[in-house]
Chain A
Amino acid sequence: MPRVEVNEQACTGCGVCVDTCPTDVLRLDPQEKAFPAYPTDCQGCFVCQWDCAYGAIRVLVNG
């Protein structure tokens, strides 16, 4: 199954990925860092990876 990895150092907490994730996987944690709150709902569409202006997210889709 696909999964999302967030680089906490690079994440600025802008929340764009939280807004746009089609399956609503991501949320901001109390430290204002994105994290996959619903990881099993990731469909591997890479939208968060493209929408992140800071290169902080990677989608892994190893079958």
Chain B
Amino acid sequence: MAVRLETDVLVIGGGIAGAFAAYRAREAGARVLLVDRSYFGRSGCSALASGVYPAYMPGDDKDAWMRAFGGPLVNQPLVARSLPVMHEHVLLMDRWGVNWVKEGRKIVRMGAPGRSFANGVWMAEGGPQMMMAVRSGVVGSGVEVLNRVALTELLTSDGRLPTAGRVVGAAGFHTRTGEVHEIVAKATVVCTGPYKFPYPWPGSTLGYMPVDLSGDGIAMMMRAGAELSRLELGGINLNPDNALSAPGLESLMPSGAKWVDQDGRRFLEDYDPKRMEMTQRALLYFAIAHQKELGRVPSMDLREVSPERMQLIRRVIPIVVNNQEAMVGDLTETPVPYTYQVAGTSGIFGAGARVTERGETTVPGLYAAGTCTDMTYLPGGNLPFCSVTGDWTGRAVGAAVGSVEPPQPPAEQVERVTGQVLEPLQRRDGVAFEPVHRRLGELLMEKVGLVLHADRLDAALDELRDIREHEVPRLTAGNPHELAKVWGLTQYMQVLEATLRAYRYRTESRVAFIREDYPIIDNVNWVKMVVVKQENGALRLWDEPLPESWHDPHPVRPTQNLHLVFRNQEAPHAAR
């Protein structure tokens, strides 16, 4: 028997975006159910955050913040409106018990506004303590929580995907008991975070922490008919080589970390000799990945960081430090090698559902906030922008559901979806998770890579189609735990296809998005968003210019320049 639950607002995902969305919706008087595939307060990216919540404070130079969070594809007035909310959130989280670094009773900030790693409030006990305190604040407000339930499909008023009606909840299964869950809601808010190749693949550089960010929410929204954008600009993920740990750059870079290769040379001289470590965030990520691709050993050098700062770093990013020290020993003596991953988003560059400032997707009843939307694109400010978009969305949803009648998904859709969800458990002669997972990883490394080209992308899309047609329908799971991984991999493949198609569509290069066949940064033709939508069983892509209002007060100059990478290097893809 399926477990059937009803609520006003269903929030999917318990990171900081989901937490604030749930809190504000509840504050507006709605009944709120937050569903987490893992454990609210321990799941996803926020609990593993890099120890810093970049936060504007009243009296700051707003223009310096705008420079830090700027760029041709950024909605500048929206950034300006988000700044005061960040400050409000720091104070609210302080009341909830988040242990910010303080001098006496005063919350202190470190870093510098206007630089690539912005001025931030530091978490004295890291992301794990921050999220458990946030959890207690949210649960204390009356939000109901359901852990270990993986939602796999949205339910719709007309029973169709994509829908011509509205989203009326979601269905999935408990990852331990296998019990099917049907959750009916007046509004559904997807806050499932970034996506990337999910689950560790031993011996490879793929699969960094959190290992289960498989893009479930984005895939579900796409099937329901929501428009997606920015998939091609999701950026590169970095992580310490041979560890699954997150990069930790938010606290390490403002502390004086330098980047060197195996010969001790500061390789950023090849990319941005003027600004070096203070270069644009996306370019820094690209430079590190590019060095790795060229067969070098890009490493973070902490030898000049002061002992006092190292002591603080050990407290605010314990996961990163523990992992790094297991690899190289004392961080103040030996640089730490880093590696990279492609074809996803990170905690820094969001991509996913196209949303308004109120979190509305293009499908009625369906909202989204945080890194699974196209709105979290602020280099250096992702954690606060997730809390801010969660806040705005929660308020809007809380106000909207008052006038919505209790919905009823068609019984045949519920039956179909809840039947499909357990199918991999029932298959006898099929394909196991591991070989499919491995084949997908090889596809990413061999056919996608860091420097993109249409021919390789087409080959990758062909192989991905083959995997999805011939292997995915035969995937088997031995128990509900394995079922969660099978579904994660399946959802990721759908988002990956949309991402590769968006890579193919944008015919230019831009910061960390590099096309060997289109090496120009093209501010004449490509100050645009690429939109992806599922229609009639296929993906449709188009582009739209950005509204002029986005570029106030800093207009975009209509320039066309060869990407830096192609200027200084004879053969940037030589390692291929």
Contacts and interface: CB of A to CB of B under 8 A. Distances in A.
Contacts of B322: 44, 46, 59, 61
A11 interface: no
B152 interface: no
A22 B175 contact: no
7 contacts: A22-B43, A24-B481, A41-B485, A43-B209, A47-B42, A61-B245, A63-B327
A20 B523 CA distance: 47
Contacts of A46: 318-319, 322
Given A24-B481, A43-B210, A19 B245 contact: no
A59 B323 CA distance: 10
Given A22-B210, A23-B212, A44 B42 contact: no
Interface string B526-552: 000000000000000000000000000
B176 interface: yes
Interface string B305-324: 00000000000001100110
Given A43-B200, A47-B128, A63 B48 contact: no
Question: Which A-B residue pairs are the 6 nearest by beta carbons?
Answer: A63-B242, A63-B327, A61-B326, A43-B211, A20-B42, A43-B209
Contacts of A54: none
B339 to A, nearest CB: 11
B490 to A, nearest CB: 17
What secondary structure prevails in chain B residues at the interface with A?
Answer: loop
B42 A24 contact: no
Contacts of B100: none
Nearest to B327: A63
B138 to A, nearest CB: 16
Contact of A44 (B147, B323, B484): B323
Given A19-B39, A44-B244, A38 B318 contact: no
A22 B39 contact: yes
Nearest to B242: A63
A62 interface: yes
Contact of B245 (A23, A44, A60): A44
Contacts of B484: 24
Interface in B22-71: 38-39, 41-44, 47-48
Contacts of B176: 24
B202 interface: yes
B199 A41 contact: yes
Interface string A21-57: 1111000000000000110110111110010000000
A44 to B, nearest CB: 5
Contact of B38 (A23, A40, A60, A63): A23
A30 B485 CA distance: 26
A45 B209 contact: yes
Contacts of B209: 43-45
